[in-house]
Amino acid sequence: MKNKVLVLLVYLFVFVSAAQGQYFGKNHVQYKSFDSYYLQSEHFDVYFTEGGKSIAEFVAETAEKVYRDIKEDFRYELTDRIRFIVYNNHNDFESTNVQLAPGDESTGGFTEFYKNRVVIPYEGDWEKFRHVIHHELTHAVMLQMVYGSGMQSIITGMTRMQLPLWFIEGLAEYESRGWDTESDMFMRDAALNGYVPDIPYLYGFMAYKGGQSVLYYLSEKYGGEKIGELLGKIKLSKSVDRGFKQSIGVGIEDLTKRWHKYLKREYWPDINGREEPEEFAKRLTDHIKDRNFINNSPALSPKGDKLVFLSDRSDYFDIYLMSAIDGKVIDKIISGQKTGDLDELHWLRPGLTWDPSGEQIAFASKAGGYDALHIVNVRKKKIVKSFKYQLDGIFSPTWSPQGDEIAFVGMEKGQSDIYSLNLKTEKLRKITDDIFSDLEPSYSPDGKHIAFRSDRGNYIDPSRIPENFNITHFNYRNYDIYTVELDERNKIHRITATSSWEKYPAWSPDGTHLVFTSDRSGVYNIYMHNLDTGDEYPITNVITGIDHISWRGDGSRLAFTSFYYGGYDIYLLKNPLNIKPGDLVLEKTNYITKLEEKRKDKKMDTEQVAIAEVPEQKTDYSNFVFGQDFADGDVDPAERGIVFLDTTRYKDESGEFKVKDYKPQFSPDIVYGNAGYSQFFGVQGTTQLAVSDVFGNHRFELYTDLFYDMRNSNYMVRYFFLPNRTDYGVGAYHNVYFFYSDYYGLIRDRYFGGNFYASRPFSRFTRIDYSASFLGINRDFLDWPEGYLPNDDIRVVMQNLSYVKDTAVWGSTGPVNGTRASYSLSYSPNMFGDKGLEFYTFRFDYRRYYKFKNEYNFVVRFSGGASNGNEPQQFFLGGMDNWLNYKFKGGTIRIDHPESIYFSSFETPLRGANYYERVGDRFALMNFEFRFPLIRYLILGWPLPLGVVNVRGALFSDIGTAWYKGEEKDLDLIHGRDLRLPQLGDDMVMGYGLGARAFVGFFLLRFDAAWKTDLVSNSAKPQYYFSLGAEF
Buried b / exposed e along 1006-1026 (16+ C-beta atoms within 10 A): bebebbbbbbeeeeeebbebe
Percent composition of the chain: helix, strand, coil (DSSP 3-state, to 5): 20, 40, 40
- Residue 197 contacts residue 204 (beta carbons within 8 Å): no
What are the distances in angstroms from CA 928 to CA 415, 791, 983, 1004? Answer: 52, 45, 19, 21
pLDDT over 80 at 20, yes or no: no
| Element of type H or E holding 918 | strand 918-920
**CATH class belonging to 793-1028:** mainly beta
Give the angle subtended at the CA of 32 by the CAs of 432 and 820, to the nearest 5°: 110
Q: Which pLDDT value is given to residue 387? A: 98
* Nearest by Cα to 906 from 889, 887, 919: 919
Peptide bond into 505 cis (omega under 30): no
719-778 confidence digits (pLDDT tens)? 999 999 999 999 999 999 988 888 888 989 999 999 999 999 999 999 999 999 999 999
pLDDT over 70 at 623, yes or no: no
In the chain, the amino acid numbered 960 is G
Q: In the structure, what pLDDT confidence band is assigned to residue 630 with cuts at 50, 70 and 90?
A: very low
- Residue 575 contacts residue 216 (beta carbons within 8 Å): no
Q: In the structure, what pLDDT confidence band is assigned to residue 681 with cuts at 50, 70 and 90?
A: very low
SS3 692: strand
Between CA 29 and CA 9 the distance in angstroms is: 35
pLDDT over 60 at 211, yes or no: yes
Between CA 697 and CA 691 the distance in angstroms is: 11
pLDDT over 50 at 182, yes or no: yes
Between CA 415 and CA 125 the distance in angstroms is: 9
Q: Which pLDDT value is given to residue 975? A: 57
Domains of the chain, by residue range, sit at: 37-160, 163-272, 281-580, 793-1028
pLDDT over 80 at 897, yes or no: yes
Other C-beta atoms lying within 10 Å of the C-beta of residue 90:
27
Torsion-angle region of residue 773: left (phi > 0), alpha (psi -120 to 50) or beta?
beta
244-289 confidence digits (pLDDT tens)? 999 999 999 999 999 999 999 999 999 988 999 999 999 999 999 9
**CATH class belonging to 37-160:** alpha beta
SS3 214: helix
pLDDT over 90 at 130, yes or no: yes
Angle between helices 252-271 and 590-611 (to 10 degrees): 100
* Strand ranges inside 238-357, DSSP E: 282-283, 295-300, 306-311, 318-323, 329-335, 353-354
In DSSP notation, 542-559 reads BSSEEEEEEEETTTTEEE
* Nearest by Cα to 396 from 460, 431, 440, 338: 440
CATH superfamily for 281-580 is TolB, C-terminal domain (2.120.10.30)
Radius of gyration of the chain from Cα atoms? 33
* Nearest by Cα to 538 from 498, 584, 493: 584
- Give the total residue count for the chain: 1032
- Residue 708 contacts residue 681 (beta carbons within 8 Å): yes
Q: Which pLDDT value is given to residue 671? A: 81
Sheet containing strand 905-907, strands side by side:
905-907, 875-877, 918-920
| Strand 989-1000 versus strand 947-963 pairing type | antiparallel
Q: Which pLDDT value is given to residue 12? A: 38
Q: Which pLDDT value is given to residue 893? A: 84
22-48 confidence digits (pLDDT tens)? 479 999 999 999 999 999 999 999 999
SS3 262: helix
SS3 275: strand
908-958 confidence digits (pLDDT tens)? 999 999 999 999 999 999 999 999 999 998 888 888 788 888 999 999 999
Q: Is 430 exposed, middle or buried (0-12, 13-18, 19+ CB in 10 A)?
A: middle
Q: In the structure, what pLDDT confidence band is assigned to residue 390 with cuts at 50, 70 and 90?
A: very high
In DSSP notation, 584-628 reads --PPPPHHHHHHHHHHHHHHHHHHHHHHSPPPPP----TT-B--H
**Sign of the Cα pseudo-torsion (554, 557, 559, 562, in order):** positive
Between CA 1032 and CA 1006 the distance in angstroms is: 12
Other C-beta atoms lying within 10 Å of the C-beta of residue 17:
15
